[in-house]
Amino acid sequence: RSVFRNKDFITLQEWSVEEIDTLLDVSFDLKRKFALEIDTPYLNNKVAMLMFFEESTRTRNSMEAGLAQLGGHANFLDTSTMQISHGEVAKDTAVILGSYGHGIACRNCFWGEGNAYLRDMAAHANVPIMNLQCDLYHPMQALADLMTIKEKKEKTKNLNVSIIWAYATSHKKPISVPLSQSLLFPRYGMNVTLAYPEGFEMPDWVIEQARENAEKNGGTFKITHDMDEAYTNADIVIPKNWGSWVSDPKDKLGSKLLEENKDWKCTEEKMALAKEDAMYMHALPADRGNEVEDSVIDGPQSIVYEEAENRLHTAKAVMALTMGGRG
Ligand code: CP
């Protein structure tokens, strides 16, 4: 039987489909109860430590609001104000924070370090470690995306989902969202197309794992560098480019890549290649204008706000099961 209490939530790849189904069931139940204003005190007086190495709007607030709604307390920790900035190691931080509460959640996206940091904490903490995004994975986002797809489409099997992203390890940026989606969606029988310009390859192990996940679960996984091909006949499109890099004044590369790849943008014209009832998804924040036209993100095919809203319900499900649940 599945034991959820104290189970780390670092990547959904380490959760079985049955366990993910339970997470989804609980998410839908919590959503329904939230709408009906039914109390859900599943984590009464429990405390989660939320460590953030980076900024966040959705992740931080869905966790904080979610834990309050479950009867507990979220302790927000800006890591630049912690002794981590003086070199305190993951083990010491994890053991001590774990002794004060019932779960530790962490966002650490430093390239090549974020996942290692989480794994180090998980090796030593006696409470569940929840990944709020690292350099490799963003399981909270992928779970909310799956919930949103299940809500909007009758079935996930044979759904054509195109992840049209342009991030790459070669540029030392987190690839956590497209990577997590590439691994998760084929496990639900979807036909996943990962599209990116040449030179923006996913690591080989991701491709191999995604293909294996597809083979085992009746989905497919393919790669294309042709954006039009990715849009054509898609049920769901999830496009992104380098827009968010541009907002970082230290990052000159984003502007250069945007200039070189002007076509790598979601437009009404591209959306017209997809199925008539195709949906547009984006984890947000979106760089309006550079990566998507306003008429698409604000248009009838966009489900970005529902997707973001579901972050609340899935975050609550993860906390309720790993910090509470049956031992
Ligand atoms: N999608 C997402 O993780 O949003 P935030 O960076 O605002 O948390």
pLDDT for position 167: 66
Please name each of the domains of the chain with its CATH number.
12-138+308-324 (3.40.50.1370), 140-303 (3.40.50.1370)
Residues contacting residue 236 through CB under 8 Å, at least 6 positions apart: 149, 153, 159, 160, 161, 162, 278, 279, 281
- pLDDT tens per residue, range 280-311: 999 999 989 888 999 999 999 999 999 999 99
pLDDT for position 65: 98
User: Which residues pair with residue 163 across a beta bridge?
Assistant: 194, 238
- pLDDT tens per residue, range 233-286: 999 999 988 776 666 667 677 778 778 877 889 999 999 999 999 999 999 999
Question: Measured in angstroms, how far is the CA atom of residue 274 from the centroid of ligand 1?
Answer: 26
Question: Measured in angstroms, how far is the CA atom of residue 190 from the centroid of ligand 1?
Answer: 24
Question: Measured in angstroms, how far is the CA atom of residue 62 from the centroid of ligand 1?
Answer: 10
- Could you give the 3-state DSSP secondary structure of residue 306? helix
pLDDT for position 325: 80
- pLDDT tens per residue, range 4-54: 999 999 999 999 999 999 999 999 999 999 999 999 999 999 999 999 999
* Residue to mutate, 56, 181, 240, 305, ligand 1, most ligand atoms under 8 Å from C-beta: 56
Question: Measured in angstroms, how far is the CA atom of residue 55 from the centroid of ligand 1?
Answer: 8
Question: Which H or E run includes 60?
Answer: helix 58-69
* Residue to mutate, 106, 238, 284, ligand 1, most ligand atoms under 8 Å from C-beta: 284
Task: Tell which wins on pLDDT, 326 or 120.
Answer: 120
pLDDT for position 173: 72
Question: Which H or E run includes 94?
Answer: helix 90-100
Q: Which ligand 1 atom is at minimum distance from the Cα of 132?
A: 3
What ipTM was assigned to the predicted interfaces of this complex? 0.99
C-alpha–C-alpha distance, residues 321 and 91, integer Å: 24
- pLDDT tens per residue, range 190-237: 999 999 988 888 899 999 999 999 999 999 999 999 999 999 999 999
C-alpha–C-alpha distance, residues 164 and 259, integer Å: 18
Question: Measured in angstroms, how far is the CA atom of residue 1 from the centroid of ligand 1?
Answer: 33
Question: Measured in angstroms, how far is the CA atom of residue 218 from the centroid of ligand 1?
Answer: 31
Give DSSP secondary structure letters for 171-209. Answer: GT---HHHHHHHHHGGGGT-EEEEE--TT-PPPHHHHHH
Tracing tokens 């609980």 back to the chain, one arrives at: 26
pLDDT above 90 coverage of the chain, percent: 83
Question: Measured in angstroms, how far is the CA atom of residue 96 from the centroid of ligand 1?
Answer: 27
- Could you give the 3-state DSSP secondary structure of residue 167? coil
C-alpha–C-alpha distance, residues 213 and 49, integer Å: 33
Give nearest CA residue, ligand 1 atom 7. 57
Question: Measured in angstroms, how far is the CA atom of residue 58 from the centroid of ligand 1?
Answer: 5
List all residues whose CB is within 6 A of at least one atom of ligand 1: 56-59, 133, 141, 283-284
Q: Which ligand 1 atom is at minimum distance from the Cα of 133?
A: 3
Amino acid identity for residue 129 in this structure: I
Q: Which ligand 1 atom is at minimum distance from the Cα of 138?
A: 3
* Complete edge-to-edge strand list for the sheet that includes strand 191-195: 220-224, 191-195, 160-164, 236-239, 279-280
Question: Measured in angstroms, how far is the CA atom of residue 181 from the centroid of ligand 1?
Answer: 15
Please report how the helices 304-319 and 139-152 are oriented relative to each other, as an axis angle in degrees rounded to 10: 120
Q: Which ligand 1 atom is at minimum distance from the Cα of 283?
A: 1
Q: Which ligand 1 atom is at minimum distance from the Cα of 59?
A: 8
Give nearest CA residue, ligand 1 atom 3. 59
Give nearest CA residue, ligand 1 atom 1. 283
Residue 9 phi/psi, 5-degree rounding, is -120, 80
* Residue to mutate, 133, 291, 318, ligand 1, most ligand atoms under 8 Å from C-beta: 133
Q: Which of 48, 210, 187, 198 is nearest to 125 (CA)?
A: 48
